[in-house]
Amino acid sequence: MSNEDDINPPCWIEDPMLGQHSPYSLVVYVVARFNAVYRPLSVLTIEEADVDQVQADEIIPLCQRLSAMLADPSNRVALASELSLAADFYSNERSTSGPSIHDLPKTGGLEYFRQPDEGDRVYRDFPDFPFISTCLMLAGELSSDCPMRLRPLGTRFRDGDATSYSMVVFDVSDLEQSRYGIVAFKVQHMVLVESLEMWRVWTDWGRPLGGERELRVGEPQSRTPLSVREFATKFGVKIPDDASALDGVPLVEPDAFRLIWPSESSETENGRVSQGPPQSGSSIDSSGARLARRIEGILQTDGFSLPLLNGVRKLRAFQQSLRRVLLEKPDYLNGPEGSGLLGLAFEAETHLNLVQYDGLSGEVIRAALDRDELKQIQSVSICIDRITETPRHLADALFPSGMKHDFYILQSPSRNSDDRAIEFMQELCRVPDRLSLSNKIFISGIYSSALRRQPWVPASGPGLPTSAFPVQYIFHRTQYSPQRRWWTTRSGYIGDGMLSPLASATGLLAWLGRLASRVLLWAVGAPDLEDPLRTQVSPIPAEEFKLQGLQPRDAVRRPLCSGTWCVVVSTEKYGDTARDEANSRGRGWAPSEAQYIGFALVRLLVDVVAEDSPITVAAEDVQVCGLAEFLGQTSPAPVDAALVERRLAEAEEKISHWNCQGRLGEGLRWLRQLEVEEAIEVLNMGLKEHFGL
């Protein structure tokens, strides 16, 4: 608007100095459908604060990362187990009224810091579904530098939030085919022109208009989700080359918005979101109900034995009906035929999903796994809060002679402590032979503790057994400038990420390729070396996550025991003097500095404690090797050295394309293995920093 005749003060106009843009904050929901109603499983906000803003081009990689995590087969059992817990949680009578309503926080400038102490909720509350929340947090943390926080499940998006927040929704109702959608409206800056004199300040002198301002949505607020390509077109964002993976992912149904973006009529007076039709999670269709009653009648027979079920075993609905009976009457599982009933209920399955069952004992589960009916079982999931045994008794019962299956230990969404799950893990570590390098142990309490920034490995003692989780520390030094061999050194404890040898290798490759200060990259390595684009979600290293933004002096000074593996990394800088001189002569801006990386894996052959003075290890105190040799010594599977070299070459290629990389000097490589003397030098520098010396 440039013609004075078009102005009729006082009036609101679009600020002529500011164009339309996407909102500067983001809320991300993961939802699933239970009994025809979409329920929230996790909520994350990424918020504008001070000068940090969520840019439109950060939303696409977030969608890519989260979609990859939710689709990867290595994460499937954990996701399916939490979905089972969610189905039970939302069918519980106490939850039918829905989660308490919470509004999205204010954003922008200092408003973020002026909010009440609710901001550190992530440190206090227990995430209802820790694995799903970890996927969400990782996708956010690796896509944006803005502050982010997990929010209560009842956090809602209002029409009035559209000027501040975009919204991304992922629907995981069907793990074989998750869905997603983006909601984002163009925001325009409006300014109140109070007089023609104020307007002439802009038209005649080009000075900013000084009237009252507000943000408005510059388009109708449709509830139609956008794909990443539609979103990119709308806001003029360049689509990444690898975004094509999302082309085959369908969009969420509009009904997925009903609870998280409610209309005014769907909200009740008691501050809760109306949940729609009553729950029917435990209902069975009429034929199934008849079969369930028939099965229960047989189970109540005096002198019951398993052969009495032979007459109904071949019926198509037998297993589902038996499972339902055992869910509603768990006492049957504590009888002499309890393990046999589990065997019949899950015969020929590959996953034994017991997270909804109350009152199970470790002995019954162990006995069931030894039955012929369950010989195909590969993984087992249980909810430790539904088991009355102590963690020690449960560990002794489940693993009398080591781990033979993948085990997933989950927790109740309504718990108020992670202690039982943590204690169970500590019991496993007490007898390291229980932990198998060939099988996976998943403890949701570890994921929950990390999200709450609550370290769970005791500060005193050696930490986790290196036989199962060999890599415990990373020591990283960075050269100050190409002209000086001055270094900054940082140590990091990553043992509480529970990284297997293979996960350590893929986590290292992910970290080297970006060499970010964020330790979260260790939690998103590929599940194997075959496909580096896959994403297996491991626990976030809790101690390092807690220390983000804090001083190193706040770190735990834990001793290092013999057998511990450490990653040592040296980031060095090369100065291209010829290009620097050319820039000076021609006032050019071509990069004249290059960063290149040296790394090695070091195994300690001695204990290292704070009382050692000086803290210095010698060549005879360590074993130094490369990635392939490390895997050869720690992994039970054969190592393809050529494949390892290909993955390292890919990481080297990524390093060469880092932003603002200059030319590398002759004879130098972007990524190389450190010599023994260099590795020991980096290790000693890191140990001194670790112990605060």
pLDDT tens digits for range 50-89: 778 899 999 999 999 999 999 999 999 999 999 999 999 9
Alpha-carbon distance values, 534 to 230, 306, 360, 514, 540 (Å): 25, 44, 35, 16, 17
Contacts of residue 91, Cβ cutoff 8 Å, sequence gap at least 6: 34, 35, 279, 280, 281, 282
Q: Is the pLDDT of residue 283 over 70?
A: no
Alpha carbon 583 to its chain centroid, in Å, reads 44
Q: Tell me the pLDDT tens digit for each residue of 504-550.
A: 999 999 999 886 667 788 999 999 999 999 999 999 999 888 877 55
Residue type, 450: A
| pLDDT higher than 90, residue 370 | yes
Cα separation, 136 vs 168, whole angstroms? 11
pLDDT of residue 213: 82
d(CA 6, CA 220): 24
pLDDT tens profile 337-354:
999 999 999 999 999 999
In sequence order, what DSSP letters do the residues of 16-38 get, joined into one string? Answer: TT---B--SEEEEEEEEEETTEE
Confidence of residue 246 (pLDDT cuts 50, 70, 90): very high
More confident call, 286 vs 354:
354
Hey, what are 39's tokens?
Answer: 């329920």
pLDDT (average), residues 180-184: 97
Q: Residue 277's pLDDT is what? A: 45
**pLDDT confidence of residue 484:** 81
Check pLDDT > 70 for residue 275.
Answer: no
The CA-atom distances, in angstroms, between 248 and each of 57, 228, 251, 482, 495 are 20, 11, 10, 47, 37
Percent of the chain residues topping a pLDDT of 70: 90
Please list the alpha-helical segments (H only) found in 473-562: 501-514, 542-547
Q: Which two tokens stand for residue 236?
A: 């003029």
Q: Is 201 exposed, middle or buried (0-12, 13-18, 19+ CB in 10 A)?
A: middle
Q: Tell me the mean pLDDT in the region 326-337.
A: 92
Query: How would you class 265 by CB atoms within 10 Å of its CB: exposed for 0-12, middle for 13-18, buried for 19 or more?
Result: exposed
Of the pLDDT bands very low, low, confident and very high (cuts 50, 70, 90), residue 267 is low
Among candidates 579, 414, 553, which has minimal Cα distance to 491? 553
Q: How confident is the model at residue 437 (pLDDT cuts 50, 70, 90)?
A: confident
For residues 108 and 120, give the distance between their C-alpha atoms in angstroms, rounded to a whole number: 18
Higher per-residue confidence, 659 vs 6: 659
pLDDT higher than threshold 90 for residue 551 = no
Cα–Cα–Cα angle for 622, 623, 629, rounded to 5 degrees: 160
Using alpha carbons only, what angle is made at residue 118 by residues 115 and 123, rounded to the nearest 5 degrees?
A: 130
Does the pLDDT at position 5 exceed 70?
no
Confidence of residue 460 (pLDDT cuts 50, 70, 90): confident
Residue 552, pLDDT score: 57
Alpha-carbon gap, residue 317 to 292, rounded angstroms: 9
Q: Residue 468 — pLDDT band, cuts 50, 70, 90?
A: very high
Q: How far apart are CA 389 and CA 196, in angstroms?
A: 79
**pLDDT over threshold 90, residue 441:** yes
CA-closest candidate to residue 27, choices 98, 120, 104:
104
Q: Tell me: the pLDDT tens digits for 479-493?
A: 988 888 889 998 889
Most confident by average pLDDT, 479-488, 608-617, 619-628: 619-628
pLDDT at 116 exceeding the cut of 50: no
Whole-model pTM?
0.91
Q: What share of the chain in percent tops pLDDT 90?
A: 61
Candidate from 310-319, 483-492, 631-640 with smallest mean pLDDT: 483-492
Is residue 1 predicted with pLDDT exceeding 50? no
247 backbone φψ class: left, alpha, beta (φ>0; ψ -120 to 50): alpha
Give the single-character DSSP code of 626: -
Is pLDDT at 113 greater than 80 in this prediction? no
Which stretches within 399-541 are classed as H helix? 419-430, 444-451, 501-514
- Contact at 8 Å (CB) between 209 and 201? yes
- Strand 351-354 versus strand 379-383 pairing type: parallel
As a dihedral over the C-alpha atoms of residue 611, residue 614, residue 616, residue 621, rounded to 10 degrees, the angle is -60
- State the amino acid at position 291 in one-letter form: L
- Among the listed residues 593, 497, 575, the one whose alpha carbon sits nearest the alpha carbon of residue 537: 497
